[in-house]
Structure 1
């Protein structure tokens, strides 16, 4: 496997998920607060965390997306993850759908805004898989106000609303936010 790139911000390092991260990944994806607005059932075993890490590596290898660990720069403590869930071709241009989550102990510190700023800057400067990215999209469940606030602060605009066709049991709609990079 070719290792992913890393991104540094003032307080954070976004870097490859490794097998050493599986305990944190399990803790993250078995936490009901994290999964409240997420399209994933709570993990019940470490094997599920390991499988998710392997799935993210495969996604990178197949040039379909990626996931980076969000780590505190000082002590490398893992706080969450973020990345590109999918890449879409739109009439000769390319768009990415981002995804992200943060452990509740790191909420309210501005970490996700900082991590996504670094990720977006990378996508704007470097592109992805030899493609220049024109749009960054985020799909957020309507009741997830905190996530909406993060993307608003980053300059995303609400561009649509769709019915929830995910495995999440929420009856709420999904809001689609867009950031145009050029």
Structure 2
């Protein structure tokens, strides 16, 4: 069963095909992609395949990706995504990635979500190492990770 995580203001839940348009909007936005290291998504079918890939990755214990939803706004669009990729149960490590829609930047949601997912990784998945690849120019993300104890 896919884990649902809750914070004071957020619900981290499994992505579904109903999230496809929100994901397309986010990951075709040049502001979001500036530091993400991927090409813009082009169409809904591409996004639906990515969502299916996330589900397969979770089932095979290679990764996990949550949609970030505001608490009390169930059924509304997600405000971003967060998750682990390159997850190795054997080596007890994973890399974290996250993205919020620009209109949600500066509200502390990324800190709340990243903190919760890191805790889940160490305490539930029994990871001993969580890494992150961050562009040097991405000062906000570098600051967030440093604030949460990453080196």
Question: Are 2:62 and 2:88, in contact at CA under 8 Å, matched by a contact in 1?
Answer: no
Q: What is the distance in 2 between the residues matched to 1:93 and 1:25? A: 31
SS of structure 2 residue aligned to 1:4: coil
TM-score normalised over the length of structure 1: 0.78
User: Partner residue of 1:163?
Assistant: none
- C-alpha displacement of 1:45: 0.9
User: Partner residue of 1:84?
Assistant: 84
Once the two structures are superposed, residues 77-135 of structure 1 have per-residue CA deviations (whole angstroms, 9 ceiling, x without a partner) of 4110000011247xx752111111000010000001000111112122211xxxx2111
Q: Which 4+ runs in 1 deviate beyond 6 A?
A: none
Q: What is the distance in 2 between the residues matched to 1:63 and 1:94? A: 11
User: Partner residue of 2:61?
Assistant: 63
Please, which runs of 5 or more residues in structure 1 have no aligned partner? 158-182
Please, which runs of 5 or more residues in structure 2 have no aligned partner? none
1:134 aligns with 2:128: yes
Q: What is the distance in 2 between the residues matched to 1:118 and 1:156? A: 14
Larger relative helix fraction: 2
Q: What is the distance in 1 between the residues matched to 2:21 and 2:38? A: 17
1:143 aligns with 2:137: yes
TM-score normalised over the length of structure 2: 0.93
Larger relative strand fraction: 1
SS of structure 2 residue aligned to 1:69: strand
User: Partner residue of 2:117?
Assistant: 119
User: Partner residue of 1:53?
Assistant: 51
Q: What is the distance in 2 between the residues matched to 1:60 and 1:36? A: 27
CA root-mean-square deviation: 1.4
